[in-house]
């Protein structure tokens, strides 16, 4: 009798990874689960290593209990592993460094690169696996012998944006069992299998922050430096509570009521790190919010590097944007979009597509309008 192929799956305690494990068993794989603990959920530490205890406790412990219930229902082993130090060194330190530079980072992308598809893989090697699996909404085409990352069937849940920095080598032994399913189907399968996570609410935001107010959380690591909030013409509005707490295009949380000039909502249209000035205007479509080119750095590319037209996303859930790509070198791309795009923000990912194939990505270094740098950092 042929030995079953072994799959090690990241079991997070959510419905998606639960159903992924269920489907792998139905397909005849030998499955074992691993629950990853990436953050000390009871106690956090400031940048100097001093403990900072919060009243709100992250959901990680509850997630572990749910993952355990699912593993018991499916009859598979569940291993628990701490990646707390790895997460701090490889993800959270980068997260803080980006904020120090007045950029808006995306830690979920780095978490996939450094934890789920590096630290996790290194840990899983002890089980002599054939494949690694995750409950991501994405697909991998292995038919050509070289893995091709493709969008999920459920475009509303597609997670290729967050997987876009993975190297081809990292994808070669990976399976995404729910990539060809709609979310509704995943819920139905979970109910059919009697899984404890069938009706569990989807997690949102960054796991180590949980339900905490983001600016309060960040202030434990990076003390805010107050400064001027002004209009682009220099008119003083009020004091801001730290540039790192604002992002380009932001409307909520500015604390600006109606003024003599306007009763409209106000928006962040620029940030100047040198003068510690936050620029705002009462217009969500203000011209300063638009750029028509950007420098993309830290590029990962999984196809032949050829200049030309394709589509891109400058933030998650953004509709595909028509762009033109010009490679400056292996690590940098100048991307142009004459139609103009709103809030192209330094630190965020720019993810490139050819049809359903995610060909690569990089991080937005600088946004320009007609060759002039926008005051976004």
Among the listed residues 58, 111, 350, 358, the single catalytic one is 111
Q: Do strands 236-240 and 227-230 pair parallel, antiparallel, or not at all (unpaired)?
A: antiparallel
Calpha distance 280→254 (Å, rounded): 9
Q: What angle do CA 205, 139, 78 make, to 5 degrees?
A: 65
Calpha distance 52→13 (Å, rounded): 26
Q: Do strands 290-301 and 308-313 pair parallel, antiparallel, or not at all (unpaired)?
A: unpaired
Query: Catalytic annotation on 207?
Result: yes
Calpha distance 131→7 (Å, rounded): 5
| Ramachandran area for residue 337 (φ above 0: left; ψ -120 to 50: alpha; else beta) | beta
Cβ contact 193:35 at 8 Å: no
Cβ contact 11:17 at 8 Å: yes
Which residues, 6 or more positions from 58, have their beta carbon under 8 angstroms from its beta carbon? 39, 41, 207, 208, 210
- Pick from 273, 266, 218: nearest CA to 101: 273
Calpha distance 153→266 (Å, rounded): 37
Among the listed residues 58, 207, 350, 358, the single catalytic one is 207
Calpha distance 169→172 (Å, rounded): 6
DSSP 274-323: TTTEEEEES-TT-GGGEEEEEEEEEEEE-S----EEEEEESSTTPPPEEE
Bridge partners (DSSP) of residue 313 are 351
Q: In whole angstroms, what separates CA 177 from the centre of its chain?
A: 20
Cβ contact 269:288 at 8 Å: yes
Calpha distance 364→353 (Å, rounded): 16
Query: Catalytic annotation on 358?
Result: no
Q: Mind telling me the catalytic residues?
A: 111, 207
């Amino acid at each position: 009798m042929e030995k079953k192929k072994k799959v090690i799956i990241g079991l997070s305690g959510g419905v998606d990874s639960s159903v992924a494990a269920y489907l792998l068993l139905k397909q005849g794989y030998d499955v074992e689960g691993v629950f990853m603990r990436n953050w000390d959920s009871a106690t956090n530490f400031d940048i100097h290593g001093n403990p900072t205890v919060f009243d709100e406790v992250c959901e990680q412990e509850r997630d572990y209990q749910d993952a355990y219930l699912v593993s018991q229902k499916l009859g598979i082993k569940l291993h628990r592993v701490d990646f707390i130090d790895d997460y701090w060194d490889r993800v959270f330190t980068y997260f803080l460094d980006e904020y120090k530079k007045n950029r808006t980072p995306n830690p979920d992308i780095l978490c996939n690169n450094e934890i789920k598809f590096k630290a996790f893989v290194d840990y899983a090697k002890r089980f002599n696996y054939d494949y690694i699996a995750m409950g991501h909404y994405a697909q991998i085409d292995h038919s050509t012998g070289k893995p091709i990352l493709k969008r999920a069937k459920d475009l509303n849940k597609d997670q290729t944006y967050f997987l876009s920095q993975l190297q081809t080598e990292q994808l070669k032994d990976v399976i995404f069992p729910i990539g060809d399913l709609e979310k509704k189907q995943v819920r139905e399968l979970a109910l059919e299998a009697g899984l404890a996570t069938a009706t569990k609410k989807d997690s949102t935001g960054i796991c180590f922050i949980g339900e905490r107010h983001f600016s309060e959380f960040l202030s434990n690591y990076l003390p805010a430096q107050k400064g001027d909030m002004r209009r682009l013409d220099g008119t003083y509005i009020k004091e801001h509570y730290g540039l790192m707490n604002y992002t380009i295009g932001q409307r909520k949380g500015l604390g600006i009521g109606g003024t003599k000039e306007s009763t409209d909502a106000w928006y962040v249209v620029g940030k100047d790190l040198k003068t510690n000035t936050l620029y705002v205007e009462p217009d969500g479509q203000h011209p300063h919010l638009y750029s028509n080119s950007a420098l993309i750095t830290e590029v990962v590319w999984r196809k032949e590097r050829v200049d030309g037209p394709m589509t891109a996303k400058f933030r998650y859930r953004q509709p595909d944007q028509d762009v033109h790509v010009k490679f400056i070198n292996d690590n940098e791309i100048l991307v142009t979009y004459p139609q103009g795009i709103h809030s192209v923000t330094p630190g965020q990912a720019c993810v490139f597509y050819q049809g359903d194939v995610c060909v690569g990505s990089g991080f937005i270094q600088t946004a320009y309008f007609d060759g002039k740098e926008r005051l976004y950092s």
